[in-house]
Amino acid sequence: MMRTTSRFARGAALLAATTLALSACSGDDSTPGSSAAADQGENFDLIDPGTIRVASMGDARPYTFTDENGEFTGFDVEFFKEVAGCVGIDDVVFTGQDFSAILPAVANGQFDVGVAAIGITEERQQTVDFSDGYLAGYLTVITPEGASITEPEDLAGQRLGVVQGTLQETYAAENFPDVELVRFPDNNAGISALNSGTIGAHFADYEAAKQYATQYDVDLAINIPSFDAPAGFALKPGNDDFREALNTCLEQKMEDGTWRDLYQEWFPGSPMPDQYLPSSEQGSDDASETTTP
């Protein structure tokens, strides 16, 4: 696990933080200076004080995408907006990037935050800081329907699509024998190549794969657990007051059920990872981190 302390181990700290955060986040948190968290806003090292500039992706449904009005939405976007509001900043400006451009742009200060189901890894932590994790799931190999690919060995000799810079690219290079990796700027380009027969399979995040399966005749052929790299918000290194405020509010938005409600809205029917639910709901029968999709 990349997370140094589990959510369970932090029970006592969480209770204390929740009490603080509850008072900080209740009521109208849109008024600057109305909450304890917002008072810390002046210490946040943001490009424009009072605004959070976010590098994201406009085409990574259901995590981050633009709707018919050009507005950013999706699970990660809506959850980030909740957390930002809790730290006292409602002005959040999202900009679409290729995935491979997000972390460099955050690292060199062009954006305050990167939000795009970005898995926390030691390698990425060489260039950016991360909030605590907020999403853990599977990496999924998508094939044409009936391709009879069910395990990594079946991919031998295939051309496999990956989005440049993703964990899928790294995982496939290290673990899938004899595949020819074909790198794309985004998943839509990979799925187009899959549908036209240019590649034999495409490797994406599970919820994106599930989304494509509602539109195209594809199978979710292989699911690789990626719980050791939960997604976090990527931050410019050293902005510690901002990171700590985000983490306090992230816990708060899990404890008050906001995370659960957004998860059910954007990922309907998907197995619910236990660790992000309100403490009172953890360990119930229908919540499990280990359920295979």
Tell whether residue 117 is a contact of ligand SNW (CB under 6 A).
yes
Binding mask 169-208 for ligand SNW (x = CB under 6 A): ------------------------------------x---
Q: Which is nearer to ligand SNW, 216 or 227 (CB)?
A: 227
Strand, coil or helix: 118: coil
Instruction: Show Cβ contacts of residue 231 under 8 Å, excluding neighbours closer than 6 positions.
Output: 76, 117, 118, 119, 120, 133, 134, 135, 136
CA 159, chain centre distance (Å): 26
Strands 234-235, 113-114: pairing kind: antiparallel
Closest to 136 in 3D by CA, of 287, 275, 281, 284 = 275
Coil, helix or strand at residue 58: coil
Is 96 near ligand SNW (CB under 6 A)? no
Q: How many residues bind ligand SNW (CB under 6 A)?
A: 19
Q: Interface with ligand SNW includes 229 (CB under 6 A)?
A: yes
Nearer to ligand SNW by C-beta: 92 or 135?
Answer: 135
In the bound complex, what is the minimum distance in angstroms from residue 28's beta carbon to ligand SNW? 32
Contacting ligand SNW (CB under 6 A), which of 24, 60, 249, 272?
A: 60
3-class secondary-structure state, position 93: strand
Interface with ligand SNW, residue 230, by CB under 6 A: yes
d(CA 162, CA 186) in angstroms, rounded, equals 8
DSSP letter at 119 equals B
Q: Point out which residues pair with 223 in neighbouring strands.
A: 140
218: left (phi over 0), alpha (psi -120 to 50) or beta: beta
Report the residue number, 152 or 225, with the smaller CB distance to ligand SNW. Answer: 225
Q: Which of 118, 142, 149, 254 binds ligand SNW (CB under 6 A)?
A: 118
Q: Which of 137, 161, 190, 200 binds ligand SNW (CB under 6 A)?
A: 137
Return the range that interacts with ligand SNW (CB under 6 A); candidates 19-27, 67-75, 111-119, 143-151.
111-119
Q: Interface with ligand SNW includes 136 (CB under 6 A)?
A: yes
Q: Which residues bind ligand SNW (CB under 6 A)?
A: 57, 60, 99, 116-119, 135-137, 163, 166-167, 205, 226-227, 229-231
